[in-house]
A and B are shown apart, each in its own frame.
Chain A
């Protein structure tokens, strides 16, 4: 198990390295560069060349990459030109904000989708199953910006149940902060809800047909005992593991949502940094986002292993 964990961590490090290189070189393909961004379109070619030299942009791209990489690994993440702030402070603050939003989204998504899916599976073919299955599929196809705008108009503007701003005042307590984050997290929840519910549903149906459910029935257990001790115990681990894999979808969805709700998170930072050619900021943000996705994937594998005795205990 330890060996498996170490291998996976080494693999994650390697993937992050490849990711950082990929981002660095891809940014070069974007039209314009940082010097034009700072100077604007009115600067003379001489001013422009001087600015490029000052920023180090006149050096070959691979030299710049390794310089950046060396600094980054030493902990010197550089200075964000577009935000005029140390990259590290900027990115970590934004990262914290995004974690809060993602946390609220997952806290709503995973329990509700699993409960709905299990309910649908236990009542296969009945009306409750049809509502959940069709409803889940419908929610999945609504893009985040569409559902986001509708939610905003209905719940924040008309009904005023939730604040329109995603950012709580800095002195707000925990529940107030959460209240501000509910509306922006819902579009992301909608997109993944159907998928997770479907997984939970098919997992439940599969387990219901397993011979050991018959054995449990023959023991004289009540329906409640059969469902709680035998069905859920076997249907949930794979579902929970799969829902953690949804983390990467959620990261993608957050970029849109944060933009829509002007929430200062990692997603919005990614977008801003790439449009302003702020490579050090972009790199740091991408690597953090990559770490989240990879760690969640690892967690998904680990949960499955820890919840299944056939993997945990061995033969």
Chain B
């Protein structure tokens, strides 16, 4: 070990919650340190103790939690024992925090400028005028455009990405020596996420702060952090340089986390993503021996009798793992292939949309959208928030009434109004939403929710047999049937929501960001389930997501929407191979599927400047020309029905003649 100064050191930390007189350990035996200028990622599923760790470091554990052992040293202060005033003295200057949910983390009744200036005033002695000036500098530093204007606004007037930038600006106001980021990109669009990650990387180089970046997305953090620590069930199970941990994984859990992220090497049938079987044990229900042993393929008697300690991996200096068989870790995941069903017939269309348009007052949300979905096919719909994806799905489901257009189901006209649709067509088109929390009625049991779906959608008598079969179909254990939604995890709730949609043998299921709110490990399980169900039931999907990795994995064809318009549509293979629309290109680079550096889009979504006469994307397009502003772009036709709405020809799109003016920082 080196003797370089450390910005923060955690030693033998153990934290427990006291619930109903029982002491439930949430963190056990955690030791690590971060040097100035270094970034350490803390990775793990929900319930692994990541947020408890952040709260312990910052001295804000809830009343029912207590630190049972160990120390946390920041700037000579032990935050496990310090009182409010001692902590206050170091907050902002020595240690700062960016929390998740940027929307809730800003005071709703105070202007942005005041909130940032307040952070300046709290950390350095200066006048109110200086603080205001410094606040504007900070906003500029986190790449907020028009800082003067933004400073006068209230949090609800900003986008999620802007809110997160403001939070980051406040956190760096006092040049902290330790900066804790708690899931700073969760809930943000892929493009915005890339921008925020890029910002964090830049600030890191500028400030020299030690960074602790908490996330459930292993690949995401590996782009910013040179070291990573993997947490599982309250234990640190692997720690080391990011590249080393990814290339030379020494713990089966780390490998499982890596395997559940869809990558270009996956195939949804032959080599599907592998969900991690089982669940993170709750505090107080920890298994004997290694905490991961119940979910590990290689668990032996040794594993179930004692928790392995964190040992250096052979042949490395700084890579340690808590596993008896680190050499086996990489082979720990095997995916179970799904047998591919028969190919869909060329002219067997489940859904045909023609010229669907929808406006909300002056805002065009869907502009003349036409496409078809074949039986058993998945059409992925991508685009940033506000591009009209969800509205389009709601129009198809009949939940929103489009202004004009034709919807055909199995070749027959479908009424735009849901109350005029037959029960059979309502049954045939079902929807799965992003947050199962709000989809399932909290006062009904799962049995009642699914029972109602069977009686209404399948028009069958509810029998225990049918219920159990439906639950089995989505791999929801029987014991959950009698629970209420709040007693289920996010993934289990989404399984209930999927079972509900499949109760009446639907022909088309509209999935609106069904995995966006889930941990990556749970997401893999849902993706696997959706593929299997599609194959068994010959159902078609309209799959909406802002995560291009997920869409590439699942979709046969992809539509790219921007400000209500379909900019591009084509088969996944064609779009990923190119040529593709500059916007699709930007989305692809933002999501960085190949694991390389991401590059953010040039600018945030403009509200104005778009006229009927211009290309919608012109204001942000790195390849915009004069004609883009003056004339609507033509539709370029490629192979396999590939359509690109762009002034550039397919040939030009294939070969980027002009270098992109987007600056990509190395």
Contact = CB atoms under 8 A, between A and B. Distances in A.
Contact of A214 (B60, B109, B156, B173): B60
B88 A229 contact: no
A219 interface: yes
B625 interface: no
A310 B58 contact: no
A211 B58 CA distance: 14
A217 B90 CA distance: 11
Nearest to B180: A218
Contacts of A220: 88-93, 119, 122-123, 174
Given A218-B99, A308-B109, A313-B154, 4 more contacts: A211-B105, A215-B167, A233-B109, A313-B153
Contacts of B174: 220
A3 interface: no
A223 to B, nearest CB: 7
Contacts of B60: 214, 217
A9 B108 CA distance: 30
Contacts of A223: 84
Contact of A212 (B97, B108, B156, B157): B108
Nearest to B63: A125
A233 B110 contact: yes
B368 interface: no
B109 A234 contact: yes
B106 interface: yes
7 contacts: A219-B118, A219-B122, A220-B88, A220-B91, A222-B88, A225-B122, A309-B154
B99 A214 contact: yes
Contacts, number: 85
Contacts of A315: 156-157
A210 B109 contact: no
Interface residues of A, number: 25
Interface of B: 58, 60, 84, 88-93, 96-97, 99, 101, 104-110, 118-119, 122-123, 153-154, 156-157, 167, 170-171, 173-174
A310 B171 contact: no
A307 B99 CA distance: 26
Contacts of B104: 210-212
Nearest to B170: A219
A20 B174 CA distance: 64
A219 B156 contact: no
A11 to B, nearest CB: 25
Interface string A282-313: 00000000000000000000000001111001
Contacts of A234: 107-109
Nearest to B88: A220
Interface in A107-162: none
Contacts of A230: 107, 110
Interface in A190-217: 210-212, 214-217
Contact of B157 (A216, A233, A313): A313
A217 B84 CA distance: 10
Contacts of B90: 220
A210 B155 CA distance: 14
Contacts of A229: 107, 110, 118
Interface in A213-262: 214-223, 225, 229-230, 233-234, 237
Given A214-B60, A309-B109, A219 B119 contact: yes
Nearest to B85: A222
B154 A218 contact: no
A222 B85 CA distance: 8
A221 B154 contact: no
A173 B578 CA distance: 88
A216 B119 CA distance: 8
Interface centre among A221, A237, A308 (most CB of B within 10 A): A221
Contacts of A225: 118, 122
Given A211-B99, A221-B122, A216 B107 contact: yes
A215 B119 CA distance: 10
A211 B101 contact: yes
A215 B106 contact: yes
Contacts of A219: 91-92, 118-119, 122-123, 170, 173
B110 A310 contact: no
Nearest to A221: B122
Nearest to B96: A218
